Amino acid sequence: GAGVSQSPSNKVTEKGKDVELRCDPISGHTALYWYRQSLGQGLEFLIYFQGNSAPDKSGLPSDRFSAERTGGSVSTLTIQRTQQEDSAVYLCASSLAVPEQFFGPGTRLTVL
Amino acid sequence: QQQVKQSPQSLIVQKGGISIINCAYENTAFDYFPWYQQFPGKGPALLIAIRPDVSEKKEGRFTISFNKSAKQFSLHIMDSQPGDSATYFCAARGGFYGGSQGNLIFGKGTKLSVKP
């Protein structure tokens, strides 16, 4: 079946603009995770959804970051007033009530 | 206490050799330890995983060795091939308690190059 998909694959934006990143999880997966991967670094956890609910948003790096999930499926990560330090690859993973998390290809965000 | 330390940062191995990547953790509540393989421009792909009640798990050429008392685990790639050249990440899951959301905590990665 189809894996996790993310769009866009690449996004170049100017400092101060808002961006939206989209994640389509594997069908039926109830858990959804967002991670950020900066150059040469490991993956940093941002936020977790179980269904449409995000129990804890403390992983988000600042209040410029927000995320939502609708219909227990698609999720959108929004970054407002982007800064150059937001440049990274944003990865989404989904899971079906088991530890295994399956990652999408990521969105490479470049803030000029 | 939530960190996972991975070494080495980079590794060069000859074709047919054994690649060994090590990880260490501090939080004894971690309950799941996966390894991910990532090729340039792609998302991480789950390679193999182990639970702390098992000391070794083997899948094909890939083996995880787990030492619970030392709080260390390692990935061994036997008969390494040029196609194995990628970045490997170890991770640990914190379970669903004490504010943890079952998210994975990743090491910083090891870039493996297998020379023909």
Which residues, listed in sequence order, are joined to residue B38 by a DSSP beta bridge? B87
Confidence category of residue B50, pLDDT binned at 50, 70, 90: very high
**Mean pLDDT, chain B, as a whole number?**
92
CA separation (Å) from A36 to A32, B4, B106? 14, 16, 11
Q: Which long-range contacts (CB under 8 A, 24 or more apart) does A60-63 make?
A: A61/A36
User: What is the C-alpha separation between B64 and B90, in angstroms, rounded?
Assistant: 10
Type of residue numbered A97: A
User: What is the C-alpha separation between B70 and B9, in angstroms, rounded?
Assistant: 21
pLDDT at B90: 97
pLDDT at B95: 63
Q: Cis (ω within 30 of 0) for the bond into B44?
A: no
Q: From the CA of B46, how many Å to the nearest CA of chain A?
A: 7
Please list every residue in chain A whose beta carbon sits closer than 8 Å to the beta carbon of residue B93: 99
User: With DSSP H G I counted as helix, E B as strand and the rest as coil, what are the percentages for chain A, rounded to 5?
Assistant: 5, 50, 50
pLDDT at B25: 95
Backbone angles phi, psi at A15, to 5 degrees: -50, 135
What residues contact B102, with CB distance under 8 A and at least 6 apart? A31, A48, A99, B93, B94, B95, B96
pLDDT at A99: 82
Type of residue numbered B18: I
Q: Which residue of A has its CA nearest to B10?
A: A40
Q: Which residue of B has its CA nearest to A94?
A: B103
Q: Which of A24-33, A95-104, B5-14, B38-47 has the lowest mean pLDDT?
A: A95-104
Please list every residue in chain A whose beta carbon sits closer than 8 Å to the beta carbon of residue B44: 43, 91, 103
pLDDT at A57: 80
Q: Map tokens 């937001």 to a residue.
A: A86
Q: Which residue among B31, B49, B105 places its CB closest to the CB of A100?
A: B49
pLDDT at B63: 97
pLDDT (tens, 9 = 90+) of chain A, 112 residues, equals 589 999 999 999 999 999 999 999 999 998 999 999 998 778 999 999 988 888 778 789 999 999 999 888 999 999 999 999 999 999 999 998 678 899 999 999 999 9
3-class SS at B84? helix
CB count in 10 Å sphere of residue B33: 25
* CA nearest to B106, candidates B60, B43, B53: B43
**Mean pLDDT, chain A, as a whole number?**
92
B100 pLDDT more than 80:
no
Interchain contact, B108 vs A41, CB within 8 Å: yes
